[in-house]
Amino acid sequence: MKYLYYCKKCKSTNSTENDNSYLQCPECKVQMYATHITADEWETRTAEEKEFLKKSFETIEHPVMNPIGKALKTVGWVYIGLSVIGSFMMLTEVDVAYSALSLIFGCLGGLLLLGFAEVVNLLQDIKNK
């Protein structure tokens, strides 16, 4: 299914396979706005209806990236990275089993943060629609 995108600068429309993705206007080279209308639906509209819809597209804003979701994602990756580094540093001091255990738990902690970040970002996507 193709989704309709709108350029506020040249008032043109374009479509692509994904909703809520980055699409550049072929003429103005600026980011186009996701209208959440399918291209098929757009084709069934009359010329007047299209003009009316284009006016309503003028008020669309770009989707907001949730700062908390972004931060949690970064912290999750840092957590995993530090766990890997830490467990390798431990190798010279302690038994391999302890090092492996700290690696596993470190990665699990980081993955939990990444999972929570994903939930926050998905909720923001729902709010953006």
Residues making contact with Zn ion (CB under 5 A)? 7, 9-10, 25, 27-28
Considering the complex, what minimum distance in angstroms separates the CB of residue 81 from Zn ion? 41
Considering the complex, what minimum distance in angstroms separates the CB of residue 101 from Zn ion? 56
User: For residues 10 and 96, which CB has a smaller minimum distance to Zn ion in the complex?
Assistant: 10
Considering the complex, what minimum distance in angstroms separates the CB of residue 33 from Zn ion? 11
- Which residue from 72, 75, 74, 82 is spatially nearest to 105, judged by alpha carbons? 82
User: For residues 6 and 79, which CB has a smaller minimum distance to Zn ion in the complex?
Assistant: 6
- Which residue from 55, 52, 60, 53 is spatially nearest to 32, judged by alpha carbons? 60
Token pair, residue 7, equals 């350029």
d(CA 69, CA 67): 5
